[in-house]
């Protein structure tokens, strides 16, 4: 919580530097961004009489509003900072009513893949986790947080950002630039000093997408792959959610292995529904779904890890070929280098 006396002894410039959302208070009250060298109390006390008359207020009233604004911003930050250590999936039933004999506990830093045929219920499992199901969804599953039933406010309130989800389809409708979108997101998360974060996001996004884009690019001009790359990087660097759910990232037109490594390297619980064996085996544990139910939970074996290395080598070849073709070059010069001993 921000104490009033602490803000009163800071200059306007110091407050903006430490709490960038202070700019919003000035904008909402049509206050000039001048005299930043003054303390906030002195700033209000020296505002021109004509301006105060137009605003219909007095310096003490403005100072009181500022205190209330800062307290509310601090409360929002506290509500968003959900600190959890584990997620537990308790089984329900499949489409035929068969009971899922499962209780799976997932901790921070864990990566779990979800595999199964199309229509088997992978997305339904992700939805159960997103909604913190309490035996009240079609599957009858129950989700626990830190081994307890989560409060109702965590399920139905936007203040608690437990889950970040990357879906199969993603379209932007906001008429803003990439930079403006990222700034808005950072400010909504009450993140201080977000310039460096935004630079990291754009660098990471361009490392995932085929064609690089700039911060001033209109959000609606991004391709599907660029949009997904942006949201993967945004989720990795800006999201405060401890749980990340991913639905078929292999269809996004981005470097999927880099994207998964980026998301799983943020000490979050990451669950990915996928048809891609490379992604499925990249997770130490995988959930097998069939007929709407969880059929098994398997650990990736040593033999499977050997298969994964072969898949990665083949995927590297495909990546080189794809990037070469995209750039307009011939495969003749890169074939021997790309094959690395494979006979294709």
Mean per-residue pLDDT over the chain, rounded: 84
As a whole number of angstroms, the distance between CA 300 and CA 308 comes to 10
As a whole number of angstroms, the distance between CA 155 and CA 142 comes to 13
Count the neighbouring beta carbons within 10 Å of the beta carbon of residue 7. 22
**Shared domain check, 125 and 231:** yes
pLDDT: which is higher, 39 or 155: 39
**Shared domain check, 91 and 76:** no
Element (H, E) at 113: strand 111-115
**Shared domain check, 262 and 146:** yes
pTM, 2 dp:
0.72
**Alpha-carbon distances of 182 from 24, 187, 235, 258, rounded to whole Å:** 16, 9, 11, 21
**Shared domain check, 233 and 130:** yes
pLDDT in tens, 139-148: 999 999 999 9
3-state DSSP assignment of residue 19: coil
- Residue found by looking up tokens 């947080």 in the block: 145
pLDDT in tens, 159-186: 556 888 887 666 666 678 999 889 888 8
**Shared domain check, 139 and 42:** no
pLDDT surpassing 80 at residue 10: yes
**Shared domain check, 23 and 65:** yes
pLDDT: which is higher, 46 or 8: 46
pLDDT: which is higher, 211 or 202: 202
**What is the band of 23 on the pLDDT scale with cuts at 50, 70, 90?**
confident
Count the neighbouring beta carbons within 10 Å of the beta carbon of residue 83. 6
pLDDT value for 343: 43
* Residue where one domain finishes, among candidates 50, 80, 110: 80
pLDDT value for 223: 85
Q: Is residue 162 part of a domain?
A: yes
pLDDT surpassing 70 at residue 158: no
**213 contacts: CB under 8 Å, gap ≥ 6:** 178, 205, 206, 222, 226
* 197 close to 191: Cβ distance less than 8 angstroms: yes
**Shared domain check, 236 and 161:** yes
Q: Is residue 196 part of a domain?
A: no
Strand 293-299, strand 111-115: pairing:
unpaired
**Shared domain check, 280 and 142:** yes
| Ramachandran angles phi, psi of 164, nearest 5° | -115, 130
Residues in the chain: 344
**Shared domain check, 151 and 21:** no
Count the neighbouring beta carbons within 10 Å of the beta carbon of residue 262. 20
* 62 close to 30: Cβ distance less than 8 angstroms: no
pLDDT surpassing 90 at residue 278: yes
pLDDT value for 190: 66
**Mean pLDDT for the stretch of residues 224-229:** 86
pLDDT in tens, 49-105: 888 888 888 988 888 888 888 877 766 655 555 678 999 999 999 999 999 999 999
**Shared domain check, 103 and 67:** no
Instruction: List the one residue out of 75, 1, 6, 76 whose CA is nearest residue 40.
Output: 6
pLDDT: which is higher, 4 or 194: 194
| Six-digit token string for 244 | 């990340």
Q: Is residue 47 part of a domain?
A: yes
Strand 103-107, strand 269-273: pairing:
unpaired
Containing structural domain, residue 315: 309-339
**Mean pLDDT for the stretch of residues 104-111:** 94
Ranked by mean pLDDT, the top range of 212-221, 298-307, 334-343 is 298-307
SS3 of 235-289: the string is HHHCCCCCEEEEECHHHCCCCHHHHHHHHHCCCCEEEEECCCHHHHHHCCEEEEE
| Six-digit token string for 132 | 């913190």
**What is the band of 275 on the pLDDT scale with cuts at 50, 70, 90?**
very high
Count of domains for the chain: 3
**Mean pLDDT for the stretch of residues 312-341:** 75
As a whole number of angstroms, the distance between CA 210 and CA 267 comes to 27
Ranked by mean pLDDT, the top range of 185-194, 208-217, 292-301 is 292-301
| Six-digit token string for 209 | 């997408």
Q: Is residue 213 part of a domain?
A: no
């Amino acid at each position: 919580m921000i104490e009033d006396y602490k803000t009163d002894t800071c200059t306007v410039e110091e407050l903006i530097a430490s709490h960038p959302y202070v700019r919003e208070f000035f904008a909402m009250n049509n206050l000039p961004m001048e005299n930043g060298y003054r303390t906030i109390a002195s700033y209000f006390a020296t505002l021109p009489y004509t301006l105060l008359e137009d605003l219909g207020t007095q310096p003490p009233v403005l100072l009181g509003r500022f205190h209330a604004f800062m307290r509310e911003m601090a409360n929002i930050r506290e509500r968003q900072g959900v600190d959890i250590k584990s997620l537990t999936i308790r089984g329900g039933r499949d489409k035929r009513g068969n009971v899922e004999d499962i209780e799976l506990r997932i901790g921070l830093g864990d990566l779990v893949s979800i595999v199964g045929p199309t229509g088997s219920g992978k997305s339904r499992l992700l939805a159960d986790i997103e909604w913190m199901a309490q035996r009240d969804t079609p599957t009858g599953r129950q989700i626990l947080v830190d081994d307890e039933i989560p409060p109702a406010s965590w399920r139905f309130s936007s203040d608690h950002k437990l889950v970040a989800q990357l879906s199969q389809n993603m379209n932007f409708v906001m008429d803003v630039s990439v930079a403006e979108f990222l700034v808005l997101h950072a400010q909504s998360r009450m993140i201080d000093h977000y310039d460096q974060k935004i630079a990291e996001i754009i660098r990471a996004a361009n490392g995932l997408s085929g064609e690089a884009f700039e911060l001033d690019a209109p959000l609606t001009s991004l391709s599907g792959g660029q949009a997904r790359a942006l949201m993967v990087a945004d989720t990795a660097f800006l999201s405060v959610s401890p749980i990340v759910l991913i639905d078929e990232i292999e269809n996004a037109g981005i470097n999927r292995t880099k994207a998964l490594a980026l998301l799983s390297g943020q000490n979050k619980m990451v669950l990915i529904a996928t048809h891609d064996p490379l992604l499925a085996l990249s997770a130490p544990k995988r959930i097998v779904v069939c007929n709407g139910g969880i059929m098994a939970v398997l650990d990736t074996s040593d033999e499977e890890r050997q298969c994964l290395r072969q898949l990665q080598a083949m995927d590297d070849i495909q990546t080189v070929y794809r990037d070469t073709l995209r750039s307009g070059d011939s495969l003749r010069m890169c074939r021997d280098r790309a094959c690395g001993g494979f006979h294709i």
